[in-house]
Amino acid sequence: MTDPVSRSYASALADGEPVLALRGISKRFGAVQALTDVELEVHQGEVVALVGDNGAGKSTLVKSIAGVHTIDDGQIEWEGRPVSVHRPQDAQHLGIATVYQDLALADNLDVVANLFLGRELTTHGTLDEVAMEKRAQELLDTLSIRIPSVRIPVASLSGGQRQVVAIARSLIGDPKVVILDEPTAALGVEQTAQVLDLVERLRGRDLGVILISHNMVDVAAVADTVAVLRLGRNNGTFPMAGTTQETIIAAITGATDNAVTRRAARATWPRPEGEA
């Protein structure tokens, strides 16, 4: 492998314009300030790992992008222009697909039905099962996903297979940015490798990927950029190439605060809370 990490990071920087940019995002739940002035940029063909300790605001940030939460303050920019995302459908229309930590698959439906759930292909008002099966098979093939059959209920798939089906499902709507919330959290070694391979293939298709993970090894394997959140604030953004894991972990734990955090710390120190 010819170091795709640094190469695509360089190409991402060369592109200049980010697909998705967050500017000064703030979100408050009652007394809890979950996010404060968070900045994040995602370019085409770039994998941005979003890391941070429990309660750092990763999930809140992702849900804000995905339209599950509306932001209190700040700006979401899509391809350079400001947009408002109030509902999950808004995010989907923009081209942001989210794969949540708890897999959003219906166990009783087969792989094809799950892939096209809510976006079924129809002919004359009836389901076009043949076309859906064909496209599902093609999609899984291009992603090199191997499933025993696209016509078995999702219930009979293994954890890793379910995860790749969930990720493949997010691609049916031709998104530009895919958000993966802890895609490897409950997987074994082999399945984790499969999912990480899939993340690289997403990058190969020029998608922007936001990868939330607790696992520094996963992050080091696929990410181009690492954005660290700590207590609801940015605590540094690092290019993966040339950054040691120690540096990132130090940023996560707060051993090294960057200037932004230090300045904010002087004002008010938000109370650590459970992941909102």
Partner 1 sequence: MSTPPTRPSGSPDPSDPLGGFNPLEPPPGLDPTPSAAIAPPVDPRLLVRQEGLRGYVDEFKRKVRGGELGSLPVVIGLIIIWLIFSLQNSQYFSAANAEFIVYYMVGLGMLAVGLVFVLLLGEIDLSVGSVSGLAAAIYAVLSVEHNWNAWLAVIVTLLSGMAIGAAQGWIFAKIGVPAFVVTLAGFLAWQGVMLWLLGSTGTINLEPKALNALFSGNSYFLGGDIAGAYILAGIAVVGFAASGFLEQRRRKAAGVPARPTAELIARTVVLAVGAFLVAWILNRASGVPNNVVIFLALLVICDFVLRRTTYGRKVFAVGGNIEASRRAGISVPMVRISVYAISGTFAALGGLAIAATTNAAGQAGADPNNLMMAIAAAVIGGTSLFGGRGRVWSALLGILVIESINAGLFMLGLTLDIQYMITGGVLLAAVVVDSLSRRTQKSSGRA
Residue from 16, 30, 80, 125 binding partner 1 (CB under 8 A): 125
Query: What is the per-residue binding string for partner 1 in 150-169, x denoting contact by CB under 8 A?
Result: xxxx-xx-xxxx--------
Concatenated DSSP letters of the chain: ---HHHHHHHHHHHH-S-SEEEEEEEEEETTEEEEEEEEEEE-TT-EEEEEE-TTSSHHHHHHHHHTSS--SEEEEEETTEEE---SHHHHHHHTEEEE-SS----TTSBHHHHHTTTS--EETTEE-HHHHHHHHHHHHHHTT---S-TTSBGGGS-HHHHHHHHHHHHTTT--SEEEEESTTTT--HHHHHHHHHHHHHHHHTT-EEEEE-S-HHHHHHH-SEEEEEETTEEEEEEESTT--HHHHHHHHHTSS--HHHHHHHHH--PPP----
Closest approach of Cβ 16 to partner 1, in Å?
A: 33
Closest distance between partner 1 and the C-beta of residue 210, in Å?
17
Least distance CB 275 / partner 1 (angstroms) = 18
x-marked contacts with partner 1 along 188-207 as a string, rule CB under 8 A? xxxxx-x-------------
With CB under 8 A as the contact rule, the residue among 107, 205, 245, 255 that binds partner 1 is 107
**Paired residues of 210 in beta bridges:** 48, 179
Min CB(116)–partner 1 separation in Å: 9
Q: Which is nearer to partner 1, 147 or 240 (CB)?
A: 147
Number of amino acids touching partner 1 (CB under 8 A)? 54
User: Do 235 and 228 touch, CB atoms closer than 8 A?
Assistant: yes
To partner 1, the closest distance from the beta carbon of 131 in angstroms equals 7
The one segment of 30-38, 118-126, 202-210, 254-262 that binds partner 1 by CB under 8 A:
118-126
Looking at the Cβ atoms of 187 and 212, the one nearer to partner 1 is 187
Stretch that binds partner 1, among 47-55, 105-113, 245-253, 267-275 (CB under 8 A): 105-113
Given the rule CB under 8 A, which residues bind partner 1? 88-89, 92, 100, 102-109, 113-114, 117-120, 122, 125-127, 130-131, 133-134, 137, 140-141, 146-153, 155-156, 158-161, 184-192, 194, 215
